[in-house]
Amino acid sequence: METEAYLGPEDGASHAAFRPGSHALFYGTGGHAYVFLNYGVHHCLNAITGPAGEPGCVLLRALEPMEGLAAMRRRRGAVATVRLASGPGNLTRALRVTARDNGTDLTRGALVIFAADGPRAFRIACGPRIGITRSTALPLRFWIAGHPCVSGR
């Protein structure tokens, strides 16, 4: 419910631009997880989006916890439900995503991204990505407008 897109070498904030070739998975087939340790502190979960050889991914910044709340609270501590998975590091801690999940197929298994059961009415907001220092003006952050779980309000 909150994401940021990272494009190929033309996107200065993308690993394809400033770490070319160092993350082979980033150039892999869409539908797989790209997990990396950010600033040596927290993991970031990305979904590879393009065909093999064309770098691109979507960073999962926040989600609305709906199942597994007890496990998320054990991992995150005494925080409000809306904050359990709000922010990329909090999201990976809540879901227990680590570097071992790098390369995971996101279409099947324990870590899956799938469409909701039926449409929900909401408005998508768009703006610049946050928490980066390169290509900051690109409007590649997307979130459900007004949602309480959004990380960068």
Domain 2-144: CATH superfamily, name plus number: Methylpurine-DNA glycosylase (MPG) (3.10.300.10)
Averaging pLDDT over each range in 30-39, 128-137, 141-150, which range is the top one?
141-150
The model scores a pTM over 0.85: yes
Span 72-82, mean pLDDT?
95
Span 66-85, mean pLDDT?
95
Domain boundaries along the sequence of the chain: 2-144
What pLDDT score does 22 carry? 58
Which residue is listed with tokens 């082979």? 24
Which residue is listed with tokens 């916890």? 65
Whether the pLDDT of residue 45 is over 70: the answer is yes
Cα separation values, 26 from 35, 48, 51, 108, Å:
10, 7, 10, 19
Burial of 41 (0-12, 13-18, 19+ CB in 10 A): exposed
CA diameter of the chain: 42
Region of poorest pLDDT, from 16-30, 76-90, 119-133 = 16-30
